[in-house]
Amino acid sequence: MRILIAEDEQRAREGLCELISSLGEKYQIVGSAANGKTALEMIQNLQPDVVFTDIKMPYMSGLELIRAAREQRLETRFVLTSAYAEFEYAKEAMRLGCDDYILKPPMRSELQKTLDNVEHILKYGSRKETKSDSLEQQYPLAHKLVRSTLQMIESGYKGNLNQQYIAQQLNVSPEYLSYLFARDIGITFAKFIREYRIRKAAEMLRKGETSIKDVAYETGFTDRKYFGKVFHEVMGESVSEYVKHM
């Protein structure tokens, strides 16, 4: 895999190059750039498979670099790096087709996982499935209170779980938790848990773990009619249609 590093801090740039090189001979550092403008020129000339780019760089930021590469239809993959959990940048990067977002300095295991995912994308056109990832692992940049909330959703979605109860358990106000959750996850708590329950219901139906009659109650819904309505909204078809298509 041919890799380019775009990082304005020399120590961080050299450290990332050394860490990637230590992961194996299949990872080849083809170049490094201290600013976004130089990085774009190197992408055009060297055509690397993936670029690790810092967010804030002289002349052209990491986001501007990704945007320029996409406008020129360059097929290079991107991984955004930052010393801070900057959520708005991360969201914009993902919208532009960035494959991952990691905090500096990255851990060896985290970097290996990122490279494995990029390799899978290059080979198959999609991210590597991570079925074992918990909700908390899916949102590593979220506030610790939000990550605790995700843990409680994952373990308690079958019960009568609500935001007020979780806020009480975490010793914060529901309003503050609501603000943090919407900021870091991108949707409200109510919408998230509703959609999460439906995804779990669809998973149960695919695996044959429960019947159509019982799936609503198994995923935290007390009203089967309401469950059917929400299922159709989220999945785009009724429960019976979904089962039939499977």
What is the model's pTM? Answer: 0.55
Question: Lowest-confidence range among 43-47, 122-126, 180-184?
Answer: 122-126
Across the range 126-140, mean pLDDT stands at: 66
User: What are 33's strand-pairing partners?
Assistant: 6
Quote the pLDDT of residue 86. Answer: 63
Amino acid at 2: R
Strand order in the sheet with 28-33: 28-33, 2-6, 50-54, 77-82, 100-103
**One-character DSSP codes across 6-64:** E-SSHHHHHHHHHHHHTT-TT-EEEEEESSHHHHHHHHHHH--SEEEEESS-SSS-HHH
Quote the pLDDT of residue 229. Answer: 93
Rounded CA-CA distance 203/210 in Å is 10
Across the range 27-32, mean pLDDT stands at: 96
Percent of the chain scored above 90 by pLDDT? Answer: 50
Rounded CA-CA distance 66/80 in Å is 9
Quote the pLDDT of residue 152. Answer: 94
- pLDDT over 80 at 124, yes or no: no
- Residue 76 backbone zone (phi > 0: left; psi -120 to 50: alpha; other: beta): beta
Q: Quickly state the pLDDT bin for 240 (edges 50, 70, 90).
A: confident
Task: Map out the domains of the chain as residue ranges.
Answer: 2-124, 136-245
- When the pLDDT of each residue in the chain is averaged and rounded to a whole number, the result is 87
Contacts of 237 (CB under 8 A, 6+ apart): 245
- pLDDT over 70 at 175, yes or no: yes
Q: Positive or negative, the Cα torsion across 176, 179, 183, 185?
A: positive
Rounded CA-CA distance 38/227 in Å is 54
The encoded tokens of residue 29 equal: 């550092």
Quote the pLDDT of residue 127. Answer: 61
pLDDT, greater one: 141 or 38: 38
| The architecture CATH gives domain 2-124 | 3-Layer(aba) Sandwich (3.40)
Q: Quickly state the pLDDT bin for 126 (edges 50, 70, 90).
A: low
The tens digit of pLDDT for each residue in 59-117 reads: 999 999 999 998 999 989 999 888 765 666 776 777 777 888 887 777 787 788 889 98
Quote the pLDDT of residue 115. Answer: 93
Phi and psi at residue 6, in whole multiples of 5°?
A: -115, 105
Helix (H) or strand (E) holding 233: helix 224-235
Considering only CA atoms, which of 230, 136, 128 is closest in space to residue 184?
A: 136
Pick the CATH number of 136-245 from 1.10.3720.10, 1.10.287.110, 1.10.10.60, 3.90.1150.10: 1.10.10.60
Quote the pLDDT of residue 245. Answer: 64
Quote the pLDDT of residue 31. Answer: 95
Across the range 2-30, mean pLDDT stands at: 93
The tens digit of pLDDT for each residue in 134-159 reads: 787 777 788 889 999 999 999 999 98
Percent of the chain scored above 70 by pLDDT? Answer: 93
Same fold, 2-124 and 136-245: no
- pLDDT over 50 at 132, yes or no: no
Quote the pLDDT of residue 77. Answer: 93
